[in-house]
Amino acid sequence: MNKIKVTPYMPRELEIEKIGDNVAKVVAYPFENGYAVTLAHPLRRLLFSSSVGFAPIGLKIEGVSHEFDSVRGMLEDVAFFIINLKNIRFKINDEESNRVVVDYSFKGPKELKGEDLQNSEVSVVNPDTYLATLNEDAELNFSIIIEKGIGYVASEDLRDMIDNDYIALDAFFTPVRKAVYDIEKVLVEDNPNYEKIVFTVETDGQIDPIDAFKNSVIAMNEQLSVFNKIMDEDFIANGDTQKESAEISKLLQEIDTLKLSVRSSNCLERAGLKYIGELAIMSEGELKAIKNLGKKSLDEIIEKMQEVGFPVGMELSEDTLKVLSKKIEELKTKEEEE
């Protein structure tokens, strides 16, 4: 007999299977018809975009000035060396560190592989990956900047984050190599229209596939948590006050949270600017007037401020502006006293 539901069916079955060193299968069911793909698709996207990995972002080779150069005695041109280097997957051994600079020196004859780049600072999860071949006369000295991050960052966006004598590299941080799902039908109480999600996740070895899946679930929950406020009657009743308070709290965050390039950060620090709110109340013309702040840094600051929802020169309410100015003054006075 058909029933009219008043709540959707709650899935309760979860199965996890390791089917390889870096491959796992995650199965969940039963979902109402249409619910499985609603959850599976964003989880798949988060697996690629929120999983933390490591990648080389800068390369300096002794005697090399650009990526189209060559090294005496090395079979590969620098461009091919860079391609091979990107295929080597590193892990920073110090869990508290987000960046390391590692120096290497090799003499030929030698065939270099990932295993040759392992040391106390970094590990290589694919040690058999080929890097380069040196002949008996070759000497190769180079440094790599290895960074922790998520997703993909183009080399153009990294140039201001490294020294000028380094070649900026496209950074493929994500350790997830494959994330696919299938939606299968499953029977529940003689109803064949319920659904099962079958996820297959493969990583490059920088992270366990189950941990990658856990992290994507955590990221989804955190992103959705903003809507929890709708359950708070006080928030709804005092929405304007809450919004203003939240806005001021964000404006009082330090400029460091914008993750600007070193060059931009140093210019703002020398100008005595420390808080996002100070940038928000400045006009573009006032920003341009900051000593040694070039166009590239200006464009970066404008873009970052836009991303956090406080475009340069934004109009704040008179009350917000008064409270913000007072709090910034109090914070700076407190710092001077300390």
> In this structure, is the dihedral angle defined by the CA atoms of residues 270, 275, 281 and 284, taken in order, positive or negative?
positive
Task: Confirm if 175 and 53 have CB atoms less than 8 A apart.
Answer: yes
What Cα–Cα distance (Å) separates residue 37 from each residue in 27, 197, 289?
A: 13, 8, 52
**Radius of gyration of the chain, Cα coordinates, nearest whole angstrom:** 26
Task: Confirm if 167 and 144 have CB atoms less than 8 A apart.
Answer: no
Which residue segments constitute the domains of the chain, with CATH numbers given?
Answer: 13-51+175-227 (3.30.1360.10), 54-166 (2.170.120.12), 238-337 (1.10.150.20)
| Tens-level pLDDT at each residue, the chain (338 residues) | 567 778 888 999 999 999 988 999 999 999 999 999 999 999 999 999 999 999 999 999 999 989 999 999 999 999 999 999 999 999 999 988 999 999 999 998 999 999 999 999 999 999 999 999 999 999 999 999 999 999 999 999 999 889 989 999 999 999 999 999 999 999 988 889 999 999 999 999 999 999 999 999 999 998 888 887 776 655 555 555 555 566 777 788 888 888 888 888 888 888 888 888 888 878 888 888 888 888 888 888 888 888 888 787 777 777 777 777 888 888 877 777 76
Residues 6+ apart with CB under 8 A from 269: none
- How many degrees, rounded to 5, is the angle at CA 279 between CA 275 and CA 280? 110
